[in-house]
Amino acid sequence: MKVNKKNLQNYFVSFILAFFVFFPLAHGEIVVINSKDWKDIYYGILYANYNNYPVYFTNSPNPAGLFNILPKQPVILIESQEKYIPNLETQMRLKGYNIVEKITIKNSYKELKPKNIDAYYVIAEDFPYLSLPVGALAMANNAWVLIVNENNLNDVANMLSNAKYVIAVGDFKRSIENALSQYFTKRINADSKFEISIKLAEEFLKVKRVSQVIITEGKYIEPTMLEGYSPVLLVGTNLLPKEVLEFLTSNNIKTVIAIGPQLTYVGEKIRQQTNKKVAVFIKFGQSTPGISPQIYALSMFPLPKPELKLTILEAIYNPETQKLMIHFANQGNTGLYEFTTFRILRNGEEIASGGDTEAVFIGSGESIWRSYDIKLTDLTGELIIEFYTSYGESPRNLDSYLTQQGKFGPPFSLPLKISEIKDNSQIEVLEIKYYKSSKRFGIRVKNTGNVSAFVIIKLLDVKIKGIPTSLSSKAVELKPGEIKEIFIPAELDEIDIQENSQVKIEADYGERKHAIVKSSMLLLPLETASEFPLMLVLSLVIIAAAVIIVIRSTKSKPYKYTYKSYRRYKR
């Protein structure tokens, strides 16, 4: 991103103002949280904010960063069984800190809850980013947040049974939904996490009419987000959702606080697209109290998140077929969706454009080619292709843009190659079954071509525990004429099986394992089947073998007693 001197001055002022606005005021006792679990940090911050205590926490095994910013005030120490620093209490006492209270927590969601609160917001642990906008709203409403999973489900149900009101936010697994839905007095949900955060912000403005909001990517906890003075909106690291921009303008928001310097690009977009009517302050650091304060990085605790890492390896134009081939690679540890728009430039001038019509799923570690119909008549000069590719965990949460190294925003650019790609592979997906006993899908695929084919099967938006999920297989080789069943593990309950009566299947295939250039989409009815469990088969084989051995041994010649054997017996 190019920043001119005027923009640089604007951001410098923003940084300084944000620094003073958020300077921690020294008073009374402080709270220190020592835990590896993000939920303990989250509830510890809520506890501190409800009781008006400044709050600090460990986020690494090294205590140096904590002691750099920790004022010499009486300490309330909150520790879990999974401590980041096992001997933190001893180290604090040796450094002269007065620990006036120690709280040992096992179930922080109930042990740190203020006794006078009987209203709740409930979210699933599967969506930790929702805890940030929900926490801000709960603080404003004098309510408590319950992060629910299978392990604390019964506890949470007991807490909700006598609640004044219960607001459910986001999606829940079916088992949790069935157990808790009777207590829900209201639901807040939407198609994307951005829209959910906007609905929560709208609820916030009904309680407190403010003109300032906080924006975050939802990857870290930072105490300011949970103070309850401003609503929290979710954005992408380098993506400003149009819904968020509409919220800012329609609600007369004057000030945006961006948590972390990584949101500088989004902050600049807000200023540009609101004609600088919205002031953007970047909270980039914190200071120690005193006459000569030192500036340190923000204290942030990471939320659980999958590693989303998408890149485009190359782009090739085939003049013979008039197709543009783009080679995508998911280098992360989980599946993701991408949505691409591109421009082709010759000597800096646009000569063609195109893109996806819907978000495309790419499995973890998968490398695929996507083809686009493009007609280029003049292939002379320097040809560059610019990609505006957004990606995320679901089609509704494409919260990041693909960028060049060292840049904050799109486009991602590559030279356009001119070449021919020939692929004669052909396949047919025959059927899909779900095997209840082994908890897996089986997809039968036939190679109908004359060359070997590598096949990747994707199941798009199948319901698992009631939540739409996309699954992917590894690449499987099929010889010409061969039929194989490709298996994808998944645990479905009976309701899931009914709701997945039709399964949307994408089959990606090609002659070469690392150049899977073809794709087909189809909808097939789901059949159910039972497999004879392998362990049971092996057990029966072993038992049968043992029986045969016993039978054969009984048919052997009878033992004949001799004088010597009789004497041995007598002894």
pLDDT tens-digit map of 403-424: 998 888 899 999 999 988 889 9
CA distance 269 to 274: 8
Mean pLDDT of 150-176: 95
pLDDT at 389 over 50: yes
Q: How confident is the model at residue 6 (pLDDT cuts 50, 70, 90)?
A: very low
pLDDT level of residue 566 (50, 70, 90 thresholds):
very low
Residue 291 has pLDDT above 70, yes or no: no
Per residue in 318-358, pLDDT tens? Answer: 998 899 999 999 998 888 999 999 999 999 999 999 999 99
pLDDT over 60 (residue 224) = yes
Q: How confident is the model at residue 536 (pLDDT cuts 50, 70, 90)?
A: low
- For 81, phi then psi, to 5°, come to -70, -25
User: Does residue 538 have a pLDDT over 80?
Assistant: no
Cβ atoms of residues 2 and 408 within 8 Å: no
Sign of CA dihedral 181, 186, 191, 195: negative
Whether residue 225 has pLDDT greater than 70: yes
Lowest-confidence segment of 24-38, 58-72, 514-528 by average pLDDT: 24-38
Using the structure block, give the residue that is written with the tokens 């090739």: 316
* Residue 13 binned pLDDT confidence (cut-offs 50, 70, 90): very low
The C-alpha angle 426, 430, 436, rounded to 5 degrees, equals 135
Domain segments of the chain as ranges = 5-302, 310-418, 427-529, 537-570
Mean pLDDT, range 10-33, rounded to an integer: 57
* pLDDT at 377 (0 to 100): 86
- Look-up of token digits 């059927």: 431
pLDDT digits (tens, 9 = 90+) for 39-83: 999 999 999 999 999 999 999 999 988 998 999 999 999 999 999
Q: What's the pTM?
A: 0.79
**Quick one: what percent of the chain has pLDDT higher than 90?**
72
User: Is the pLDDT at 100 greater than 60, yes or no?
Assistant: yes
Rounded mean pLDDT, 545-562? 58
Expressed in angstroms, the distance from the first to the final Cα of the chain is 99
Q: Which residues pair with 256 in a beta bridge?
A: 213, 280
Mean model confidence pLDDT for the chain: 88
d(CA 122, CA 167): 6
Q: What angle do CA 386, 390, 391 make, to 5 degrees?
A: 135
147 vs 134, 169, 383, 453, CA distance in Å?
10, 10, 51, 46
Cβ(523)–Cβ(502) below 8 Å = yes
Check whether 535 has a pLDDT greater than 70.
no
Q: Residue 542: what pLDDT?
A: 74
Q: Which tokens belong to 251?
A: 């609600």
What is the reported pLDDT for 406? Answer: 83
Assigned CATH class of 427-529:
mainly beta
| Fold agreement between 310-418 and 427-529 | yes
DSSP string, 213-263: EEEE-SSEE-GGGGSSSS-EEE--SS---HHHHHHHHHTT--EEEEESGGG
For helices 5-21 and 264-273, the axis angle rounded to 10 degrees is 110
Distances 64 to 100, 281, 296, 393 between C-alpha atoms, Å: 22, 28, 12, 35
pLDDT band at 136 (very low <50, low <70, confident <90, very high): very high
Quick one: which of 117, 179, 116 has its CA closest to 148?
179
Instruction: Classify domain 310-418 by CATH number.
Output: 2.60.40.10
Categorize the per-residue pLDDT at 550 as very low, low, confident or very high, splitting at 50, 70 and 90. Answer: low
Lowest mean pLDDT among 99-103, 187-191, 482-486, 552-556: 552-556
More confident residue, 254 or 539: 254
Distances (CA, A) of 200 to 126, 137, 211, 252, 270: 18, 7, 15, 17, 20
Which pLDDT score is estimated for 545?
67
- 68 or 188, which is more confident? 188
DSSP 8-state assignment for residue 515: B
> What integer pLDDT is reported at residue 137 of this predicted model?
98
Helices (H), 340-444: none
